[in-house]
Amino acid sequence: MSTDAIVVLKEDHKNVKRLFKEFQAAEDGPAEAKAEIVKQILAELTVHTYLENEVMYPEVRRLVPDLEEDILESYEEHHVADVLCMELFTMTPDDERFDAKVNVLIESVTHHIDEEEHEWFPKVRTALGRNQLQELGARMQQLRPDAPTKPVEPKALHKALEAMRA
């Protein structure tokens, strides 16, 4: 199987988007089914974001300085998704804000995926050689089994919350 970094990440995107569709189809159905789909969404997103944050983003930033702005914006979009995932992790479908929050997560991640796939992945493919992309993808696949699967409080938010609790 190819370990091309862009192929690997697009495969993750496909899985996440399939789960988004499943949630939308299940929205008016039983709570347990919705909770299960959201659990899977949070796990997929947590792993995927981790691999991009640990390998893809820092390496692209280093190797393709022209994409600095896109990378910084993407980090911020990850941060927004992290906060939503962390909140959803503590919620159940009977919460009146549950569906709304899942739908905001879906909208914002779908936008983020579109930007990655259409705006800067093609530039990365042009700038990096085939071998470099294979090597980056292999590193992500190596890291995957050890990636966190549950949302964790983003560091900055953790600090702010600690300060409030003190």
Instruction: Catalog residues that contact Fe ion under the rule CB under 5 A.
Output: 52, 116
Residue of minimal CB distance from Fe ion? 52
For Fe ion, which is the closer residue by CB, 82 or 116? 116
d(CA 72, CA 85): 20
Cα 154–chain centre separation? 13
For Fe ion, which is the closer residue by CB, 98 or 121? 121
Cα 4–chain centre separation? 18
For Fe ion, which is the closer residue by CB, 53 or 103? 53
State in angstroms the smallest separation of the CB of 32 from Fe ion.
Answer: 29
State in angstroms the smallest separation of the CB of 13 from Fe ion.
Answer: 6
The amino acid at residue 128 is L
State in angstroms the smallest separation of the CB of 145 from Fe ion.
Answer: 19
For Fe ion, which is the closer residue by CB, 38 or 124? 124
State in angstroms the smallest separation of the CB of 78 from Fe ion.
Answer: 6
Helix axes 68-89, 31-51, angle to 10 degrees: 150
Which residues in 41-129 belong to E strands, given as ranges? none
Burial 43-79 (b: 16+ CB within 10 A, else e): bbbbbbbbbbbebbbebbbeebeebeebbeebeebbe
